[in-house]
Homo-oligomer: A and B are copies of this chain.
Amino acid sequence: MPEIRRRSAPATRAAILDAARVRFGADGFDRVTIRDIAGDVGVDPAMVIRYFGSKDALFAEASAFDMELPDLTGLAPEAVADVLMVRFFDVWEDNAGFLSLMRAAATSKVAADKMLELFSRQVAPVLGSAAVDRPADRAALVGSQILGLALSRYVLRVPPLVAMSQEELRTLIGPVITHYLTGKVFE
């Protein structure tokens, strides 16, 4: 555990941001109070406002994150699905920002729009480049499965999906991703 320097503004700010990520990821925007977060850090609620301006601004910073998807052009569709799912598991399991945003998106229009933009700017292009046609439609279908998995496994905690390993899920869902990207959609 890193020695926390007392009376260090950047350290305190970072600690507040970390606590906010955890809280927002666990309970969502509305159910978390500034007093909660300040209490976790052991600091006065006024500090939160001092460093972040408002609860909304704090949430915006806490739920910001980057998918950092690699360039996948030229890869075989099966490989695309695999690489993608590996990356998603990484993001989901050690970046509370995504869970925060998804939880908030369920009840907040601005959060929903933010998530939509994240998807269309970062994820959809990569997916679309691997699609045989109708890139937007196919990317959206893949997204629905990916999001459904995240919701079921990390929010609802559906027991079978929680019990399965990442590898198992990849082998089960990967073919579906590939199918959405390459399968025939017209008869």
Q: How far is the CA of A186 from the CA of B148 in the complex (A)?
A: 21
Additional A-B contacts beyond A27-B107, A31-B108, A143-B152 (15; CB < 8 A): A28-B107, A103-B106, A105-B155, A106-B106, A116-B158, A140-B161, A145-B148, A147-B152, A147-B156, A148-B149, A148-B151, A171-B185, A172-B180, A175-B183, A175-B186
Q: How far is the CA of A116 from the CA of B152 in the complex (A)?
A: 9
**With A175-B179, A176-B176: A144-B136 Cβ-Cβ less than 8 Å:** no
Can you report 10 A-B residue pairs in the complex whose CB atoms are below 8 A from each other?
Answer: A103-B106, A103-B107, A106-B155, A112-B157, A137-B160, A139-B160, A144-B158, A145-B176, A148-B148, A172-B185
Verify if A173 is at the interface (C-beta below 8 Å from B): yes
CB-defined contacts of A58 to chain B, threshold 8 Å: none
Size range of the chain A interface in the assembly: 35 or more
Shortest CB–CB separation between residue A161 and chain B, in angstroms? 5
At the interface, is chain A mostly helix, strand, loop or mixed? helix
**With A106-B28, A106-B102, A116-B157: A146-B148 Cβ-Cβ less than 8 Å:** yes
Verify if A72 is at the interface (C-beta below 8 Å from B): no
Residues in chain A within 8 A of chain B (CB atoms): 27-31, 102-103, 105-108, 112, 115-116, 119, 136-137, 139-141, 143-149, 151-153, 155-161, 164, 171-173, 175-176, 179-180, 183, 185-187
